[in-house]
Structure 1
């Protein structure tokens, strides 16, 4: 998925319209995420009606006001407008965390052809490996809301590890929030060391027991031998 936008400029839909144009920035914001490509036009009435639904969907999955840990999700608006003014007017209605391609970037049309987008609004959902999860999720978003993400996440085998922190922090006084991850990381090595120690300890124990048994047998034989000699006398 990251490869789709490498060597491209993605713009954040905030007041400053910050540009993300380095490989590190693009990778950081798109890697290991489910990607939604929102194809729309300002002149489309259906698109206008869908925007509030999409904004609510996105906020409930990304906005800290709704969720403690934002989901691994990215939304990029692909404008099919006829002018930059139309695109700008439409962007004002979208959430501030949405990304978009500049109007002069003809890659917008390439993406439209690549994903065979004929009608708007269209939301193409992609897995982290860029394979298509849904060619158009508009109806699902309208019907199921943010619950769609659970199905996408399961289908994409996308694993979120933030739940580990909740379980650990509630029960333990940790030095840092990364302690659970470190413990899991080194747990295997600790188990290996314990297994090796138990094996060595068990080996020593076995050898000691064998020595005791041999010693006991020798003492018993000695006593029996002494007794036999006394009787002979």
Structure 2
């Protein structure tokens, strides 16, 4: 989580929360690279939102951080309100978004990268895990 040290994350409501507070007691973090203009993203996002809600309903120590490739803050906020779960986002324009894309070699979207709290990569193919296994994949992620 060093890359997020001292950073603020945006909630769906638009409020800002420190990354430390947002990720307190979280064991597994998913970085969701996506954008409103991307048709595959718009198909996967509601699936991810259902997945997220089921894990939250079961108090899983899990959080998602949206890393937007939207062209404007309005597009990003609209996308979040329309399709996203109640997860966090890197504010549009924050240089940490580029850092995360480079760190995880993200070249296309949607991408869902799953890491341990310390930043160790569990899988770069979280999207396939979610689509094939649903919430059961969290148990595998958490055990690594």
Does TM-score exceed 0.5, indicating one fold? yes
Report the RMSD for the aligned CA atoms in angstroms.
1.3
Matched, 1:150 2:139: yes
Could you report, residue by residue, the CA deviation over 1:82-138 in whole angstroms, capped at 9, with x for unpaired residues? 222221121111112x00011131221121111100111000000122110001211
Alignment partner of 1:94 out of 78, 84, 91: 84
Contact (CA 8 Å) 2:115, 2:122: kept in 1 or not?
yes
Contact (CA 8 Å) 2:34, 2:111: kept in 1 or not?
yes
Matched, 1:11 2:1: no
Unaligned 5+ runs, structure 1: 156-233
Helix, strand or coil for the counterpart of 2:102?
Answer: helix
How far apart, CA to CA, are the structure 2 residues paired with 1:129 and 1:100? 18
Q: 1:148 to 1:28 in 2, by over 3 A?
A: same
Alignment partner of 1:49 out of 43, 48, 56: 43
Q: Identify the structure with the greater helix proportion.
A: 1
Matched, 1:74 2:67: no
Unaligned 5+ runs, structure 2: none
| Structure whose alpha-carbon radius of gyration is higher | 1
Residue 30 of structure 1 is matched in structure 2 by: 23
Count of residue correspondences: 142
How far apart, CA to CA, are the structure 1 residues paired with 2:95 and 2:142? 31
Detail structure 1 runs of 4+ shifted over 2 Å in the superposition: 26-29
